[in-house]
Amino acid sequence: MAGLSMKNSAIRGIVSAVPAHSEGMDGLAQAFGEEETRRIARAIGVHARRISRPEQCASDLCFHAAARLLSELGWAKDSVDAMIFVSQTFDYICPATSCVLHGRLGLSKTCAAFDISLGCSGYVYGLWNAASLIASGCRRVLLLVGDTVSKCISPLDKSTKPLFGDAGTATALEFEEGPVMHFELGTDGTGYKHLIIPAGGFRQRHTTEGRSQREDGNVRCDEDVYMDGAEIFTFTLREVPPMLKRVLVSANWDLKDIDAFVFHQANRFILGHLSNKMKLPPESVPFSLEEFGNTSSASIPLTISHRLRSLLQSKSARLVLGGFGIGFSWGAVALETGPMLLPELEVVQ
């Protein structure tokens, strides 16, 4: 879907929440060796990841983020017209986790709530859905986006274990005459098998098999994440630069007009090549994966609240947000936003 423009939606604030436990790279040396661990850290750019407790879900992190956001904005709970939960690590197969969160937050019975199952592109798709709801008549929408991918990772898979961390976020959007968001969205479903958890759904039910060494040399079972990094890299460089160019054309902006390009925090290697291909100034591309790893759907709002806090608390800025990956799915949005509420990181015990 090309050149979609949504009017009259303003972002009022973003809160990001992470688990208290931070896991550094040192702990991986026993599984992969010190030299290999250092090589991996240099390539992916991750030095630490926040890991959720066994009983802690993405919804828990999003709940804490949303409760704080509503409180600090001073929004009455019955003033929220709709709530969207974007994740691929839901509480249950059914019911929808958005319904669970709706009850925990004490929102009005007239508040619509629904889930969206998307990962790397999920925040941009969530903004598009939220802006569409406002265009249809909603006044206030709560967008909750988060994942706990660490629960789906084999501890012996060096392609995924050092990379993924957990986070949950809450974004408040409200009707305001004037603001425009320009979207570019796309999908290539032929690439679905390159980033996947094969078992656990209804195509392939739960398996009792143990972890075993696979063709790529990593040890995992079919209920662990499988990722073909080479295919992800090729897909990114093929689809993302044209997407970014199209969204800039839609907004009628030049590269020099942009205060920051906030990308899904895939890994340092991919983002470095993407930035070089687009000839982006290094200072315009913030990173958060050094401290948090790849947090899937939460990585864009987490990067905004962690790296652009001082900028967006005080003034308006032009941002281009780009999400891409699992599916294959991609989305970008060009928007002028701020000043907004951006509290310090919420750390959940």
φ/ψ (deg, to 5) at 294:
-80, 110
User: What pLDDT sits at residue 331?
Assistant: 98
Measured in whole angstroms, the distance separating CA 179 from the mean position of its chain's CA atoms is: 23
Active site residue 264: yes
d(CA 302, CA 62): 12
Joined together, the tokens standing for residue 311 give 């900028």
- Catalytic hit among 102, 194, 264, 306: 264
Can you spell out the DSSP letters for 123-172? Answer: HHHHHHHHHHHHHTT-SEEEEEEEEEGGGG--TT-TTTTTTB-EEEEEEE
Contact 346, 15 (CB under 8 A): yes
User: What pLDDT sits at residue 208?
Assistant: 83
User: What pLDDT sits at residue 107?
Assistant: 98
3-state class (DSSP) for residue 251: helix
d(CA 304, CA 261): 10
- Catalytic hit among 120, 129, 138, 182: 120
Residues contacting 145, CB < 8 A, separation 6+: 62, 85, 86, 87, 122, 123, 126, 168, 169, 170, 171, 297, 298, 301
User: What pLDDT sits at residue 91?
Assistant: 98
- Catalytic hit among 129, 218, 267, 294: 294
Joined together, the tokens standing for residue 243 give 């997407």
Contact 304, 317 (CB under 8 A): no
What does the pLDDT profile of the chain (349 residues) look like in tens digits? 778 999 999 999 999 999 999 999 988 988 899 999 999 999 999 999 999 999 999 999 999 999 999 999 999 999 999 999 999 999 999 999 999 999 999 999 999 999 999 999 999 999 999 999 999 999 999 999 999 999 999 999 999 999 999 999 999 999 999 999 999 999 999 999 999 999 999 999 988 889 999 999 999 999 999 999 999 999 999 999 999 999 999 999 999 999 999 999 999 999 999 999 999 999 999 999 999 999 999 999 999 999 999 999 999 999 999 999 999 999 999 999 999 999 999 999 9
User: What pLDDT sits at residue 190?
Assistant: 98
User: What pLDDT sits at residue 147?
Assistant: 98
Residue type, 31: A
Can you spell out the DSSP letters for 266-330? Answer: --HHHHHHHHHHHT--GGGS---HHHH-B-GGGHHHHHHHHHSHHHHHHS-EEEEEEEEETTTEE
Active site residue 294: yes
Q: Which domains does the chain have, with CATH numbers?
A: 1-349 (3.40.47.10)
User: What pLDDT sits at residue 26?
Assistant: 86
